[in-house]
Amino acid sequence: MPSETILIVDDEQLIRWSLGRALQKEGYNVIEAEDTKRALSIIITAEPDLIVLDQRLPDGSGIELLQRLHDKGMTTPTIMLTAIDRSDVAVQAMKLGALDYITKPVNIEELKIVVDKCLEATRLRRQLHHFKKENEKRFGSYKLIGDSPAMQTVFEQISKIAQSSATTVLLTGESGTGKELAARAVHMLSDRQDMPFLAVNCSALIETLIESELFGHEKGAFTDARMLRKGMFELAQGGAVFLDEIGDTSPAVQARLLRVLEERIVRRVGGSADICVDVRIIAATNRSLEQRIAEEKFRTDLFYRLNVAHIHLPPVRERGDDVILLAEFFLNEFNIKFRKHFKGLSEKTKTLFRQYAWPGNVREIRNVVERAALLDDGEYIFSHDVHLGHLHQLHDQKVTTVEFGPDGLSLMELEKKALLAALSRTDGNQSQAAKLLKISRDALRYKMKKFGLPKQQHDGE
């Protein structure tokens, strides 16, 4: 580790010399300043690791210097030297961020200990900051869950591409597979992470809007263009633009995008100047671009420009047991959100989750778990607490395809069928069945008795 630099600010040369020598002997680099003006310029240019600052200086006080640093948002660790009868100065200094203080005359041994302690604290803080950043990178808001080989491959591709010089990335995958999350991960793992990440949904905007959204417009370019507006590409300068649903863009937009990809130049709508843009373009689509090309809805040349670095997000049904991992991850999220205390999924629910095809992919898992966590209480999510898409439809069909016989249909009979369907759907759990039928549990019990249905007990799995 390079030795740390300490700045000593004191107007008395003898004090600077004796403190400086003592600290140099400890292996530190020492710089000296005799007044606040010189101290400030050293702090800015040499960026010392620690300042030992006297309160009384010829051109102002140490507190004033601390205040100025504080106002500039500079957080160089500082030890204040104060007169023994000026505890108010010590208090003020600590309030302005000083780490410690020493009373004059300075005891060299005390100084060494305090300096060592302050630098240690600074090192720890720096490490903590670094650790936090690293942690955020891996476990931050764009945490991608998955242990399956398919997802491990995706993670490797994401981190490789993020750190590569590829300025164009194409993400494909069915709806809800995590394309947007992957796009954010690519950005956050890249050198561009501190620069903007701007997302635009190409299918949600009408053509004229999308052009001015992406490329900006000059004042007066069209009726509503009362002011100059910068487009996404310009605003994301140095960062990334996420073009969601790129497969849905019109031929006109495709032509303009091609130019951006080829030349990294944009021109505002109604403008004549070419503006150079340095942005990573991350495009996503849940449609097959090859098929769009075959239908003559997508330009081949644009496809080749986009398809430089390609990441495909596999559907959930190809991710093995990730479905359980994802469900438990979301359950944890909703435990916090809804103040619930679920410990996990019951074995039967796990089996159900493994068998189900999840056409809505990760988004569907999240929705199903959210619903169960919201509506239920207890320790486990039981199979009768979850409502999976196709099961739901089957159940609905059973009720709605009741046929009218030649004599018509008894409403009581229909009610009985609905009751039976609800009970079978919930494995006989009465409160769940009541919820499905949108009646109270008492009303359900009454009806069961009325129709002579046997009482079923269901306490768990």
Site string for Mg ion, 253-292 (x = CB under 5 A): ----------------------------------------
Q: Is 363 in the site for Mg ion (CB under 5 A)?
A: no
Q: Which is nearer to Mg ion, 106 or 169 (CB)?
A: 169
Report d(CA 218, CA 227) in Å as an integer: 7
**Cα angle for residues 16, 18, 19 (degrees, 5° grid):** 65
Instruction: Give the phi and the psi of residue 113 in degrees, each rounded to 5.
Output: -65, -45
Q: Residue 175 touches which of ligand ATP, Mg ion, none (CB < 5 to 8 A by kind)?
A: ligand ATP
Name every residue whose Cβ is closer than 8 Å to that of residue 36 and which is 6 or more positions away in sequence.
9, 57, 59, 60, 62, 64, 65, 68
Q: Which is nearer to Mg ion, 26 or 180 (CB)?
A: 180
Report d(CA 54, CA 343) in Å as an integer: 58
Q: Is 145 in the site for ligand ATP (CB under 6 A)?
A: yes
| C-beta of residue 313 within 8 angstroms of C-beta of residue 262 | no
Structure tokens at 177: 């597979």
Q: Which is nearer to ligand ATP, 48 or 176 (CB)?
A: 176
Q: Residue 362 touches which of ligand ATP, Mg ion, none (CB < 5 to 8 A by kind)?
A: ligand ATP
Report the residue from 180, 333, 370, 415 that binds Mg ion according to the rule CB under 5 A.
Answer: 180
Residue bearing tokens 């609800």: 422
Q: Is 348 in the site for ligand ATP (CB under 6 A)?
A: no
If you ran DSSP here, which 8-state letter would residue 454 be given?
P
Site for ligand ATP, residues 235 to 254, rule: CB under 6 A: none
Report the residue from 350, 366, 435, 447 that binds ligand ATP according to the rule CB under 6 A.
Answer: 366
Q: Which is nearer to ligand ATP, 20 or 176 (CB)?
A: 176
Q: Which is nearer to ligand ATP, 16 or 366 (CB)?
A: 366
CA-to-CA separations, 439 to 83, 115, 402, 424, 443, in angstroms, rounded: 78, 72, 21, 16, 6
Q: Residue 323 touches which of ligand ATP, Mg ion, none (CB < 5 to 8 A by kind)?
A: none
The secondary structure element, H or E, covering residue 79 is strand 78-83
Structure tokens at 343: 């410990």
Q: Is 242 helix (H, G, I), strand (E, B) or coil?
A: strand
Q: Is 427 in the site for Mg ion (CB under 5 A)?
A: no
Q: Is 173 in the site for ligand ATP (CB under 6 A)?
A: yes
Angle between helices 62-71 and 87-95 (to 10 degrees): 10
Q: Is 362 in the site for ligand ATP (CB under 6 A)?
A: yes
Beta strand 168-172 pairing with 78-83: unpaired
Q: Which is nearer to ligand ATP, 146 or 239 (CB)?
A: 146
Site string for ligand ATP, 179-198 (x = CB under 6 A): xxx-----------------
Q: Which is nearer to ligand ATP, 145 or 453 (CB)?
A: 145
Report d(CA 5, CA 50) in Å as an integer: 7
Q: Is 158 in the site for ligand ATP (CB under 6 A)?
A: no
Dmax over CA atoms of the chain, in Å, equals: 115
Site string for ligand ATP, 8-27 (x = CB under 6 A): --------------------
Residue of 393, 318, 310 lying closest to 362 (CA atoms): 318
Interacting residue ranges for Mg ion, rule: CB under 5 A: 180
Interacting residue ranges for ligand ATP, rule: CB under 6 A: 144-146, 173, 175-181, 286, 326, 362-363, 366
